[in-house]
């Protein structure tokens, strides 16, 4: 076979932008060797079929490369990463080659079109191979940072196989000519035997190369008929050797385009090489298997030439099925990332619209918190609400819709709206409010399950002793309230909760009440604050009481932030909503809240 000389291919569309935008992908693939400075998306591009996949700053500094680039060449990341790309061991065998690579890097980094060329590629042991190298400029969508992205495939074996096969064909033809002249040239018999021995060695070498290369290889005559075919071509196409030898290769495996339309043989790369005598490279062709399924391939067609005349062509091709599948997976990953970004934006808008600031009555200090789960959505199924009724009572609602996605957030908005509307004009019959909310939800086809706790704080000067406030509440399967005294002791207002909302219509619901002492703090929360894998509810409540033991006299906002920091790990998988209410004595001024300055009365 003949070896293609190094060539440089400019970008096919000069008016096209030289930048290729790259989105943020998933964590690095196992095949990549990464260092500090390489962006995370680079590792999702790793393709083990590539001999080299690297990323560099625009000044040429190597930031990372795939594992095959180091292991295949015998070089190490510790020696090469951080050096100019052209100064790495891959190009150290030739100053001219290194300078050529440096010039390509400078041209592409300056905004030029991508460069593709075949170039010598040196190994750690000093040996030289041939790399089909592409240099292009990419830009990170998220940061705007530009990088050089060198990548390439080792075509040494493919070119060597084509060259060896071409040599074998030429030697075979020479031997045949000598045999025809044997009768008239008996004096040349010794020379003929030497040529036959050379042919035998060439054929033996050719057979070894053809049998062991992963690329499919065909030898065709001037009519495009198959003279030899290697095992890889048989395996990829599914046609046996007997089916292919002597047959027209184009008619057998290349007769249709990708869309199934006819593909005239005069238009295919193989026939172009036969007609012009010039090697042809094509990276977007389709061969057809025996079972009728397409195989995406890239191919090199190298004519064999004798005395200036084309005598055939050697076709070397590679199956691109795995590479195309990886590209499709990358496109699907980008689609999922865009979908996730849209859901996060929707969740953020829901959070701003639904999780409103609390009221600030004179005798109470109400603080609220919402912390989303670690998976990244800004809002899920947990919610809180706090508002004042027309008689001055303060209503508190906290709940948890099943789920942690945008659908749960939408259902949360429906339950929150129902509870707020029905509780505003209620005179304190909280169980009735829960029953009405469930009936209304069923009537409006709000079928999502939810837990909720509805509470009402009333000012009651008629109560005996110092407490002048009464807490009423009703629970639909929700964790119990916690009352924290100034000295750090706490009481779980543990009453048997009724069924959660959405399970059974018109179920009986129970109301509860308790007097609220001055300077005490009431905590309402969702299960994300106390539930942990492997722990039961009692253990979670005990952990909550331990966490607030030294917070009884802290400012309410500080209490909330400290409590979340102590109980909610960074990798929590559930949302957390929290309401804290501090009961201030009637004869002392109330501390300022988020909407009240120190000068307010």
Section 490-500 average pLDDT: 89
Please indicate, yes or no, if residue 389 is contained in any of the structural domains.
Answer: yes
Among the listed residues 295, 187, 284, 190, the one whose alpha carbon sits nearest the alpha carbon of residue 232 = 295
Task: Tell me the pLDDT tens digit for each residue of 100-115.
Answer: 999 999 999 998 899 9
CA–CA distance, 23 with 36 (Å, rounded to integer): 19
CATH number for the domain harbouring residue 571: 3.60.40.10
Residues 508 and 498: beta-carbon distance below 8 Å: yes
Host H or E run for residue 281? strand 280-288
Residue 4: predicted pLDDT = 24
Is 212 in the same domain as 137? no
CA–CA gap between residue 65 and residue 59 (Å, rounded): 16
**Most confidently predicted of 68-77, 172-181, 313-322, 335-344:** 313-322
CATH number at 202 reads 3.30.450.20
Q: Which range is most confident: 326-330, 417-421, 528-532, 557-561?
A: 557-561
Whether the per-residue pLDDT at 358 is higher than 80: the answer is: yes
Task: Give the list of residues 6+ apart from residue 598 with CB closer than 8 angstroms, or none.
Answer: 592
Which string of b and e fits 407-441 if b means at least 16 CB within 10 Å? ebbbbbbbbbebbbebbeebebebbebbbbbbeeb
Does any domain span residue 89?
yes
| Same domain (yes/no): 290, 371 | no
Q: What's the pLDDT tens digit per position in 229-279?
A: 999 999 999 999 999 999 999 999 999 999 999 999 899 999 999 999 999
Q: What is the reported pLDDT for 336?
A: 87
Question: How many residues are present in the chain?
Answer: 601
H or E segment at 544?
A: helix 537-547
Strand partners, 78: none
Decide if 104 is inside a domain.
yes
Mean pLDDT of the chain: 83
Shared-domain flag, residues 51 and 191: no
Claim to verify: residue 129 and residue 233 sit in the same structural domain? no
* E strand or H helix that includes residue 303: strand 294-306
Residue 148, both tokens: 């050089």
Are 534 and 407 contained in the same domain? yes
Q: Cα torsion at 531, 537, 541, 544 (round to 10°)?
A: -10
> Looking at the structure, do residues 558 and 433 belong to the same domain, yes or no?
yes
User: Would the pTM count as exceeding 0.85?
Assistant: no
- Is there a single domain that holds both residue 527 and residue 419? yes
Nearest residue to 129 via CA among 6, 282, 233, 7 = 6
Contacts 24+ apart (CB under 8 A), 532-540: 537/479
Q: What pLDDT is attached to residue 491? A: 96
How far is 161 from 166, CA to CA, in rounded Å? 8
Structural domain range at position 260: 181-319
How many Å separate Cα 143 from the centre of its chain? Answer: 17
| Cα-based torsion angle of the residue sequence 563, 568, 574, 577 in order, rounded to the nearest 10 degrees | 10
Q: What is the per-residue pLDDT across 450-478, written as a single tens digit (0 to 9) for each?
A: 999 999 999 877 766 666 789 999 999 99
DSSP at 248:
B
CB-based contact 119:6 (threshold 8 Å) = yes
Backbone angles phi, psi at 97, to 5 degrees: -65, -45
Domain boundary among the residues 154, 170, 194 is at 154
Of 174, 166, 203, the closest CA to residue 277 belongs to 166
Residue 333 lies in a domain: no
Counting the structural domains of the chain, the total is 3
């Amino acid at each position: 076979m003949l070896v293609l000389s190094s060539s440089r291919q400019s970008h096919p569309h000069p008016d096209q932008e030289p930048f290729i935008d790259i989105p943020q992908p998933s964590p690095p693939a196992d095949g990549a060797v990464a260092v500090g400075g390489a962006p995370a998306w680079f590792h999702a591009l790793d393709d083990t079929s590539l001999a080299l996949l690297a990323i560099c700053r625009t000044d040429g500094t190597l930031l990372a490369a795939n594992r095959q680039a180091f292991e295949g060449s015998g070089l190490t990341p510790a020696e090469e990463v951080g050096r100019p790309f052209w100064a790495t061991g891959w190009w150290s065998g030739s100053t001219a080659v290194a300078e050529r690579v440096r010039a390509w890097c400078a041209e592409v980094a300056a905004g030029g079109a991508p460069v593709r060329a075949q170039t010598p590629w040196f190994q750690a042991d000093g040996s030289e191979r041939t790399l089909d190298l592409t240099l292009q400029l990419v830009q990170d969508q998220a940061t705007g940072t530009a990088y050089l992205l060198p990548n390439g495939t080792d075509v040494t074996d493919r070119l060597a196989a084509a060259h060896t096969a071409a040599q074998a064909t030429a030697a075979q033809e020479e031997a045949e000519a000598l045999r025809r002249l044997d009768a008239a040239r008996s004096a040349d018999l010794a020379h003929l035997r030497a040529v036959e021995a050379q042919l035998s060695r060439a054929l033996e070498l050719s057979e070894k190369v053809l049998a062991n290369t992963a690329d499919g290889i065909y030898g065709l005559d001037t009519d495009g008929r198959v003279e030899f075919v290697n095992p890889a071509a048989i395996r990829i196409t599914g046609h046996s050797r007997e089916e292919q030898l002597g047959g027209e290769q184009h008619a057998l495996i290349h007769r249709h385009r990708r869309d199934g339309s006819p593909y005239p043989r005069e238009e295919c790369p193989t026939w172009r090489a036969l007609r012009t005598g010039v090697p042809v490279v094509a990276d977007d062709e389709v061969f057809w298997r025996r079972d009728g399924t397409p195989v995406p391939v890239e191919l090199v067609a190298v004519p064999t030439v004798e005395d200036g005349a084309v005598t055939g062509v050697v076709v070397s091709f590679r199956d691109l099925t795995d590479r195309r599948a990886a590209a499709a997976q990358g496109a699907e990953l980008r689609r999922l990332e865009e979908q996730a970004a849209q859901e996060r934006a929707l969740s953020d808008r829901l959070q701003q619209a639904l999780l409103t600031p609390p009221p600030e009555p004179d005798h109470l200090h109400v603080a609220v918190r919402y912390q989303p789960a670690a998976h990244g959505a800004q809002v899920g199924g947990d919610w809180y609400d706090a508002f004042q009724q027309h008689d001055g009572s303060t209503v508190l609602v906290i709940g948890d819709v099943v789920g942690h996605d945008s659908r749960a957030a939408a259902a949360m908005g429906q339950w929150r709206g129902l509870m707020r509307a029905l509780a505003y004009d209620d005179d304190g019959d909280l169980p009735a409010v829960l029953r009405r909310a469930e009936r209304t939800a069923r009537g409006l086809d709000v079928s999502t399950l939810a837990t909720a706790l509805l509470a009402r704080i009333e000012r009651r000067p008629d109560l005996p002793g110092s407490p002048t406030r009464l807490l009423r509440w009703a629970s639909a399967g929700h964790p119990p309230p916690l009352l924290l005294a100034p000295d750090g002791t706490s009481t779980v207002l543990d009453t048997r909760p009724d069924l959660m909302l959405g399970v059974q219509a018109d179920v009986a619901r129970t109301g509860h009440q308790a007097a609220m002492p001055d300077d005490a703090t009431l905590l309402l929360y969702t299960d994300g604050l106390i539930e942990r894998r492997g722990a039961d509810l009692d253990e979670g409540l005990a952990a909550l009481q331990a966490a607030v033991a030294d917070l009884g006299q802290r400012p309410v906002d500080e209490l909330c932030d400290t409590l979340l920091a102590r109980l909610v790990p960074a990798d929590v998988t559930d949302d957390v909503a929290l309401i804290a209410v501090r009961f201030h004595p009637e004869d002392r001024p109330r501390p300022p809240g988020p909407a009240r300055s120190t000068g307010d009365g």
